[in-house]
């Protein structure tokens, strides 16, 4: 396990360095003037020049890169061009919002994917319809799902709010996690917990829908293969209940592919979070990223890229561990 962790940590450092370097180089080649953006569109040239000098935008690219990497190693992600606050401050504000949304959607993905996969694994009337529904659901882009959800569940039915994490009349409890549901529980504020859950429903469902259905399809396919295996026939011959056969024997042997897919879906969800946060005005890193890109705010883009890269690598490491736990045959190969 130690070897596994060491390998993944090393990979994490390497990946983050590559990401930081690529994003830095993009800053140099993409047209745009961060100094002008920072100074404001109508600022006189001397003011823009002062900003350029202050943030080192006029230094040679190699010097900028060396300075950038040395600041990065000290945890300094520089100042956002758009907000003019330290990127670390921006990220510390935005990350809990995204984390809460991501974790909710991730749990929803696993629960829905597992249940739908299990329910549809065995053929019965309407299987073709269910399969078509899964394919359709998994192929609808999340921005479309988000817009439909807004139109139906907010504009038409008025069941859920359309934006933000909390109603304006409620004050969010301070800390410790920045995740409103948890902080509300810690502070004993059930009004905050229920209100935060109410605000979470639509964005979390929109973010989770496609990954959950993809997961369900994969699980369904794996289960159908497993249910045709000899060991399943043996288990049934022992007169085990069908539920026990499905959950204790077939499911465990079918988890490898869905778990691998879950790791990949984490990436898809991290990409989708920008869209969902934009539509639902969710003040997280997705929305922060969209604004950063629109204003060529490279310090912010680099910060977001590193955070998302780290989350992706860590999530996939956890998936690898889950795979090892589900399939003992993989033990011993986890460090490779």
Partner 1 sequence: MRLEICWKTCDGKSLAKEEFMKVRWTALVVMLLVGIAAACSPEPVNEASEREAQGGGDGTLRLAFSDNPTGGIDPAVFLNIEGEAIILSVYEGLLEYAPGSNELVGSLAESWEVNEDLTEYSFTLREGVTFHDGTELDSEAVRSSFQREIDIGAGPSYMLADVVEMETPDPLTFVIRLKRTNNAFLHYMASMYGPKVISPQAIAENERGGDLAKKWLAENAVGTGPYRLDSYAPNDRFVLKRYDDYWGEPANFETVDIAVVPDIGAQQLQLEAGDLDVILHGVSPSQVEALEANEAIRVESFDSVIRQIILINPHRPPLDDLRAREAFAAALDRDAAVQGVYGEYASVATSIYPRFTLPADMAPVDYSSDASVPDGTDIEITFPNVEPDLRRLAEYFQPQLEDAGFDVTLRADTYAQEFGYFRNLEEAPNAIVSTFNPDAAHPDTWGRLIWHTQGGLNLLGYSVPESDRLMDQARASTDMAEAERLYAQAGEAMSDQRLVIMLADAQDLFAVREDITGLEHTPAYIWTVNLATLERE
Which residues, 205 to 234, sit near partner 1 by CB under 8 A?
A: 205, 224, 227-228, 232-233
SS3 of 79, please? strand
User: What is the smallest separation between the CB atom of 10 and partner 1, expressed in angstroms?
Assistant: 34
The residue (of 69 and 257) whose beta carbon lies closer to partner 1 is 257
Q: Report if residue 43 touches partner 1, rule: CB under 8 A.
A: yes
How many chain residues touch partner 1 (CB under 8 A)? 82
- Which range of residues in 6-14, 27-35, 60-68, 327-335 is near partner 1 by CB under 8 A? 27-35
The residue (of 230 and 336) whose beta carbon lies closer to partner 1 is 230
CB 276 within 8 A of CB 206: yes
Provide the Cα torsion 198, 199, 202, 208; round to 10°: -100
User: What is the smallest separation between the CB atom of 328 and partner 1, expressed in angstroms?
Assistant: 26
Binding mask 6-25 for partner 1 (x = CB under 8 A): --------------------
**Buried-state track 207-235, b at ≥16 Cβ within 10 A, e below 16:** bbbbbbbbbbbbbbbbbbebbeeeebeeb
Binding mask 140-169 for partner 1 (x = CB under 8 A): -------x--xx--xx--xxxxxxxx-xxx
The residue (of 82 and 217) whose beta carbon lies closer to partner 1 is 82
Select the residue interacting with partner 1 from 64, 88, 236, 267 (CB under 8 A): 236
Residue closest to 256 by CA, chosen among 172, 326, 332: 326
Report 91-120 residues binding partner 1 (CB under 8 A): 93-94, 111-112, 115-116, 118-119
Residue closest to 69 by CA, chosen among 21, 25, 13, 11: 21
SS3 of 179, please? coil
The residue (of 71 and 233) whose beta carbon lies closer to partner 1 is 233
Report 279-308 residues binding partner 1 (CB under 8 A): 279-281, 283, 287-288, 290-291, 293-297
185 Rama class: left (phi>0) / alpha (psi -120 to 50) / beta: alpha
Q: Residues 6 or more apart from 193 whose CB is under 8 A from it?
A: 180, 181, 184, 185
Report 243-282 residues binding partner 1 (CB under 8 A): 243, 278-281
Other residues' Cβ atoms within 10 Å of the Cβ of residue 63: 10
Q: Report if residue 90 touches partner 1, rule: CB under 8 A.
A: yes
User: What is the smallest separation between the CB atom of 125 and partner 1, expressed in angstroms?
Assistant: 8
The residue (of 53 and 330) whose beta carbon lies closer to partner 1 is 53
CA dist., res. 320 & res. 330, Å (int) = 10
User: What is the smallest separation between the CB atom of 150 and partner 1, expressed in angstroms?
Assistant: 6
Report 165-194 residues binding partner 1 (CB under 8 A): 165, 167-169, 191, 194
CA dist., res. 100 & res. 98, Å (int) = 5
The residue (of 224 and 252) whose beta carbon lies closer to partner 1 is 224
User: What is the smallest separation between the CB atom of 313 and partner 1, expressed in angstroms?
Assistant: 26
Q: Report if residue 197 touches partner 1, rule: CB under 8 A.
A: yes
CA dist., res. 122 & res. 260, Å (int) = 22
- Which range of residues in 5-13, 14-22, 90-98, 323-331 is near partner 1 by CB under 8 A? 90-98
Cα angle vertex 227, ends 215, 317, to 5°? 40
CA dist., res. 205 & res. 192, Å (int) = 20
Select the residue interacting with partner 1 from 17, 55, 65, 198 (CB under 8 A): 198
Compute the chain's Rg from CA coordinates: 24
Report 119-138 residues binding partner 1 (CB under 8 A): 119, 121-124
């Amino acid at each position: 396990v130690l070897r596994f962790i060491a390998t993944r940590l090393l990979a994490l450092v390497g990946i983050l360095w590559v990401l930081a370097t690529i994003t830095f180089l993009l800053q140099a080649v993409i047209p745009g003037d961060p100094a002008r953006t920072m100074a404001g569109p109508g600022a006189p040239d001397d003011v823009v020049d002062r900003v350029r000098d202050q943030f080192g935008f006029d230094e040679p690219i190699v010097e900028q890169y060396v300075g950038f990497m040395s600041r990065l190693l000290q945890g300094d992600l520089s100042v956002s061009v758009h907000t003019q606050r330290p990127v670390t401050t921006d990220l510390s504000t935005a990350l809990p919002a995204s984390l809460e949304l991501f974790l909710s959607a991730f749990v929803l993905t696993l629960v829905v994917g597992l249940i739908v996969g299990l329910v549809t694994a065995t053929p019965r009337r309407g299987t073709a319809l269910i399969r078509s529904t899964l394919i359709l659901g998994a192929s609808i882009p999340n921005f479309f799902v988000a817009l439909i959800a807004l139109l139906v569940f907010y504009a038409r039915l008025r069941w859920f709010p359309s934006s933000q994490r909390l109603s304006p009349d409620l004050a969010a409890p301070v800390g410790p996690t920045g995740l409103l549901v948890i902080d509300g529980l810690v502070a004993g504020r059930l009004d905050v917990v229920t209100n935060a859950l109410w605000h979470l429903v639509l964005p979390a469902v929109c973010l989770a829908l496609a990954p959950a259905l993809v997961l369900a399809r994969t699980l369904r396919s794996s289960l159908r293969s497993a249910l045709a295996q000899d060991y399943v026939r043996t288990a049934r011959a022992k007169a085990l209940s069908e539920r026990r056969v499905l959950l204790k024997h077939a499911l465990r042997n079918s988890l490898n592919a869905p778990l691998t897919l879950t790791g990949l879906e984490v990436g898809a969800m991290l990409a989708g979070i920008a869209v969902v946060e934009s539509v639902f005005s969710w003040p997280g890193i997705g929305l922060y990223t969209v604004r950063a890109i629109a204003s060529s705010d490279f310090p912010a883009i680099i910060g977001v890229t590193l955070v998302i890269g780290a989350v992706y690598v860590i999530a996939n490491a956890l998936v690898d561990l889950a795979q090892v736990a589900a399939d003992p045959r993989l033990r011993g190969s986890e460090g490779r």
